Amino acid sequence: MKLDPRTKMVMVVCLSGLALLYNTPGQLLLVFAVTVALLMIFHFELSVIGDYLKPFLSLMLFLLVIQCVFSPGGEVLLAAGPVPLITTGGLSMGVCVVLRIMTVAAAAMLFTTFSSRDFILGLVQWKVPYELAFMVSIALRFLPVFRDELSNVVTAVQLRGVELKKVPWREKMALYRRLFFPVVYGTMLKAQQLAVSMEARGFRVYPRRTYLRRLNLLGADIAVMLVCLVSTIMLIALHFT
Shorter beta-carbon distance to other proteins: residue 145 or 157: 145
Residue 197 interacting with other proteins (CB under 8 A): yes
Specify the length of the chain in residues: 241
Rounded distance between C-alpha atoms, residue 198 and residue 112, angstroms: 25
What binding mask, one character per residue, do residues 90-129 give for other proteins by CB under 8 A, x or -?
-------------------------xxx------------
Of the candidate residues 62, 141, 147, 234, the single one contacting other proteins (CB under 8 A): 141
Residue 144 interacting with other proteins (CB under 8 A): yes
**Nearest-approach distance from CB 199 to other proteins, in angstroms:** 5
Of the candidate residues 77, 198, 218, 230, the single one contacting other proteins (CB under 8 A): 198
**Nearest-approach distance from CB 187 to other proteins, in angstroms:** 11
Shorter beta-carbon distance to other proteins: residue 172 or 190: 190
Q: Which stretch binds other proteins (CB under 8 A): 41-49, 94-102, 189-197, 229-237?
A: 189-197
**Nearest-approach distance from CB 49 to other proteins, in angstroms:** 23
Q: In this structure, are residues 222 and 4 in contact, taking their beta carbons and an 8 Å threshold?
A: no
Of the candidate residues 43, 206, 237, 238, the single one contacting other proteins (CB under 8 A): 206
State the first-to-last Cα distance of the chain, in angstroms, to the nearest integer: 35
Of the candidate residues 193, 223, 226, 230, the single one contacting other proteins (CB under 8 A): 193
**What is the contact surface with other proteins in residues (CB under 8 A)?**
115-117, 137-138, 141, 144-145, 190, 192-206, 208-214
